[in-house]
Structure 1
Amino acid sequence: MAEENTLTLTQRIKYQWELFALALSFFSRIPIPASTPYSEERMNRAGRYFSLVGLLLGALCGVSYVLLELVFPATVSIFLTMAFSLMLTGAFHEDGLTDMADGVGGGMTLERRLTIMKDSRIGTYGASALVMVLLGKWLFLNELSSVTSILCILVVSYGLSRAVAASLIYDMPYVSDLDTSKSKPLASKQTLGELVFLMVIGVFPALWFGLEIALALLVLAFIFRFFFKKWLLARLGGFTGDCLGAGQQLMELLIYLFFIAMFN
Structure 2
Amino acid sequence: MTWLWRQAQLLLCAVQFLTRIPTPSLTGFESDWITRATRYFSLVGQGVGAISAGAFLLGFHVWGAGVAAVLAIGLGLLITGAFHEDGLADTADGLGGGQTAQRRLEIMKDSRIGTYGVCALAIALGLKVAVLSTLSAQLGALALLAAHGVGRAASVVAMRTTPYAPSGEAGKWKPTPMGARTGEVIVALVIAAWPLLLLPAPAAGLGLALGAIAALALARTAVRLIGGHTGDVLGAVEQVFEVGFLLGLAALA
- Report the TM-score, using the length of structure 1 for normalisation: 0.88
CA distance, structure 1, for counterparts of residue 129 and residue 200 of structure 2: 25
| Structure 1 portions without partners, runs of 5+ | 1-6
Report deviation, 1:155.
Answer: 0.7
| Residue 243 (1) aligns with residue 233 (2) | yes
Counterpart residue number, 1:195: 185
> Partner residue of 2:140?
150
Aligned position for 1:38: 29
CA contact (8 A) 2:215 2:238 kept: no
Deviation digits for residues 216-253 of structure 1 (CA, Å, limit 9, x no counterpart): 55555554444333222111110011101111111111
SS at match of 1:254: helix
**Aligned position for 1:3:** none
- Aligned partners of 1:38 and 1:133: how far apart in 2? 35
1:207 equivalent to 2:197? Answer yes
Does the 8 A contact of 1:170 with 1:191 survive in 2?
Answer: yes
Shift of 1:80: 1.6
What pairs with 1:4-23 in structure 2 (closer than 5 Å)?
Answer: 7=1, 11-23=2-14
Structure 2: which 5+ runs fail to align? none
RMSD across aligned C-alpha pairs, in angstroms?
Answer: 2.1
Q: 1:124–1:68: structure 2 CA closer, same or farther, 3 Å change rule?
A: same
CA distance in 1, matches of 2:177, 2:42: 17
AA partner of residue 227 (structure 1): A
Question: Structure 1 residue 61 and structure 2 residue 44: aligned?
Answer: no
8 Å contact kept, 2:203–2:249: no
Distance 1:200 1:114 in 2: 33
| Percent identity of equivalent pairs | 38
Figure out how many residues of one structure are paired with residues of the other and give that number.
Answer: 253
Alpha-carbon distance in 1 for matches of 2:91, 2:122 = 14
Change in CA separation of 1:36 and 1:103 when aligned onto 2, cut-off 3 Å: same
Residue aligning to 1:28: 19
Alpha-carbon deviation of 1:108?
0.4
Give the stretch that moved more between structures: 184-193 or 15-24: 184-193
Greater C-alpha radius of gyration: 1
Q: Report what 1:175 is aligned to.
A: 165
Alignment counterpart, residue 128 of structure 1, candidates 107, 119, 125:
119
CA shift in 2, pair 1:121/1:113, >3 Å = same
TM-score by length of 2: 0.91
Question: Which of 116, 120, 134 is the aligned partner of 2:107?
Answer: 116
